[in-house]
């Protein structure tokens, strides 16, 4: 008989990888990263979120709940809180998030303070146990590239944007398409897109403007991205209509579409506290109000976390909602020049006139909770990418009012490609610091007309389309779906790279 050999000793399975997540301190960047942390942790990996002390208070209860869930057989998600050196750079104490910066002059200081986090972050990366396998870094934190290289950690970039807008920016730059227009207002073609479309220079993200103060910062970000292992995006393959694939080809990198990450919030309390442990309305009050309304009758209006429109423009929006004749929820940030807006809300009789029909939330609204209520039939949004995806997940069509950053590109995607939105008619970006000069750009009549076009009969096809997208979003996140597979693939790729570099050493 053939001589039997003992089976080779089986190799122990590799230890779970350790992901360090370091978001930019801005709600549109941090919120999806917190969701992502939970998704990665659900796969059994170690996860550490690095942020600053003030910022951690906004999400620690969500993480505490995730860690204490009954069936948890995986390592706890950890939060590392760094001191944000406001005083060291001349920023007022507590200015730890972009949503509290009152003027663009302070942006440079904010980035200086961020730069000072290099030493503390390096200590975290060197000392943390188990050693980090991967750093998911916000694109804005360019210096993490060099640190990750030095410490032999895989770095993956998070932009917080759609592949559609990322690809648009790549194509516009590559073809210098924006230089072909005769004026800032003249639309030019964005070439090389799966669905070419027109946009004007005045609608492009601020990164297309020459700003001597920030040019250097931006060049570093671009260089850092070139050195990274890949990009992770809060979107799903189908939604991108070919742009994810084309973006991969254009940057010659891995791009994992792992969203919509907001779908990880299944329970009301997680939806309610998402992004802020302490919203400006009570959960029961919000739900009771919505419960009283007819299905799909309410328009929800919210222009994101950073919007700084002047009071006169916000008043015009309020009057437009009133003129629409619809029930509405209006999340209005009153913390900037609060007296003026508050005076108007009360003094002009607005609050009294819309009583019962309009719910005004002054401050932070529990957006995902509101959007997922059956009473909500439309979302007036600034087209921030998170808000856009959240509307899609909820199957709610949009009135689009882009303001700045890549929001006009998102509007093009929503209105022209996905065909699930109606434009309010904003034509020009309102850059940070430019709000006073722009003043009132969108009139109440335009608001009322867009709401009517969306919600009075004509929007039926849009509702069907956005509901189909909502179903596809869920499928993408379920086991076997594209986003579920992309997240598995991302984790595998990190484990393989780590094993490869161990073998070399």
Per CB under 6 A, residues contacting ligand UDP are: 27-28, 31, 274-275, 302, 304-306, 331, 364-365, 367-368, 384-387, 390
As measured in angstroms, the least distance from the Cβ of 294 to ligand UDP is 24
Q: How far is the CB of 346 from ligand UDP (least distance, A)?
A: 20
Q: Judged by CB, which is closer to ligand UDP: 145, or 411?
A: 411
Cα separation, 497 vs 505, in Å, equals: 12
Question: Within its chain, how far is the Cα of 189 from the centroid?
Answer: 26
Judged by beta carbon, residue 235 or residue 367, the one nearer ligand UDP is: 367
User: Closest approach of Cβ 435 to ligand UDP, in Å?
Assistant: 14
Give dist(CA 367, CA 193) in Å, integer: 32
Which residue, 120 or 363, has its beta carbon nearer to ligand UDP?
363
Nearest by Cα to 40 from 110, 136, 126, 181? 136
Q: What's the CA gap between 397 and 390, in Å, rounded?
A: 11
Pick the closer one to ligand UDP by CB: 27 or 235: 27
CB of residue 53 vs ligand UDP: minimum separation in angstroms?
A: 20
CB of 434 to ligand UDP, least distance (A): 16
Cβ closest to ligand UDP, residue 279 vs residue 311: 279
CA distance 48 to 133: 11
Instruction: Give the residue with the Cβ less far from ligand UDP, 34 or 495.
Output: 34
Please tell me the distance from the alpha carbon of residue 337 to that of residue 309, in angstroms, as a whole number. Answer: 11
Q: Which is nearer to ligand UDP, 49 or 134 (CB)?
A: 49
Ramachandran region of residue 274, left (φ > 0), alpha (ψ -120 to 50) or beta? Answer: beta
- The CA distance from 367 to 369, in Å, is 5
Residue placing its CB nearer to ligand UDP in the complex, 52 or 305: 305
Smallest distance from ligand UDP to CB 381, Å: 7
Mark 126-142 as b/e (b = at least 16 C-beta within 10 Å). eebeeebbbbbbbbbbb
92 touches 110 (CB < 8 A)? no
CA angle 291, 292, 296 (to 5 degrees): 70
CB neighbours of residue 13 within 10 Å: 7
* Residue 243: CB minimum distance to ligand UDP, A: 18
CA distance 309 to 303: 9
Distance CA(488)–CA(300), nearest Å, equals 35
| Minimum distance from residue 38 beta carbon to ligand UDP (Å) | 14
């Amino acid at each position: 008989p053939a001589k039997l050999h003992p089976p080779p000793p089986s190799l122990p399975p590799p230890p779970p990888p350790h992901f360090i997540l370091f978001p930019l301190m801005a709600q549109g960047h941090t919120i999806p990263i917190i969701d992502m942390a939970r998704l990665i942790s659900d796969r059994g990996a170690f996860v550490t979120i690095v942020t600053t002390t003030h910022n951690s208070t906004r999400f620690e209860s969500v993480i505490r709940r995730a860690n204490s869930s009954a069936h948890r057989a995986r390592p706890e998600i950890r939060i590392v809180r760094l001191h944000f050196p406001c005083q060291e750079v001349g920023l007022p104490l507590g200015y730890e998030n972009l949503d509290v910066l009152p003027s663009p002059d302070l942006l440079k200081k904010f980035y200086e303070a961020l730069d000072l986090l290099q030493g503390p972050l390096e200590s975290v990366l060197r000392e943390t146990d188990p050693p980090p396998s991967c750093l998911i870094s916000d694109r804005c934190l360019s210096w993490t590239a060099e640190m990750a290289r030095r410490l032999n950690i895989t770095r993956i970039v998070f932009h917080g944007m759609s592949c559609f807008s990322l690809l648009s920016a790549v194509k516009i730059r590559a073809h210098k398409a924006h230089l072909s227009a005769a004026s800032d207002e003249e639309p030019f073609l964005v070439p090389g897109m799966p669905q070419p479309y027109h946009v004007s220079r005045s609608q492009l993200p601020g990164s297309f403007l020459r700003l001597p103060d920030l040019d250097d910062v931006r060049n570093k970000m671009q260089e850092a991205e070139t050195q990274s292992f890949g990009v992770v995006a809060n979107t799903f393959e189908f939604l991108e209509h070919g742009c994810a694939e084309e973006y991969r080809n254009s940057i010659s990198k891995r791009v994992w579409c792992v969203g919509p990450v907001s779908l990880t919030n299944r329970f009301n309390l997680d939806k309610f506290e998402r992004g802020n442990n302490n919203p400006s309305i009570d959960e029961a009050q919000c739900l009771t109000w919505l419960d009283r309304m007819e299905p799909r009758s309410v328009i929800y209006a919210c222009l994101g976390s950073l919007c700084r429109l002047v009071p006169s423009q916000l008043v015009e929006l309020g009057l437009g909602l009133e003129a629409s004749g619809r029930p509405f929820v209006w999340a209005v940030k009153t913390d900037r020049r609060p007296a003026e807006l508050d005076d108007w809300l009360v003094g002009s009789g607005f609050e009294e006139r819309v009583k019962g029909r309009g719910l005004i939330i002054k401050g932070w609204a529990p957006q995902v909770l509101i959007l997922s209520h059956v009473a909500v039939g439309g979302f007036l949004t600034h087209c921030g990418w998170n808000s856009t995806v959240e509307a899609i997940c909820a199957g709610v069509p949009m009135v689009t009012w882009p303001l700045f950053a890549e929001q006009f590109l998102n509007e093009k995607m929503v209105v022209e490609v996905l065909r699930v939105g109606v434009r309010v008619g904003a034509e020009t970006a309102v850059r940070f610091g430019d709000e006073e000069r722009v003043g009132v750009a969108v009139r109440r009549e335009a608001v009322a007309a867009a709401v009517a076009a969306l919600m009075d009969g004509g929007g039926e096809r849009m509702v069907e389309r956005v509901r189909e997208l909502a179903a596809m979003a869920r499928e993408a996140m379920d086991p076997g779906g594209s986003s579920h597979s992309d997240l598995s693939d991302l984790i595998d790729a990190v484990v393989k790279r780590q094993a490869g570099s161990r073998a070399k050493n």
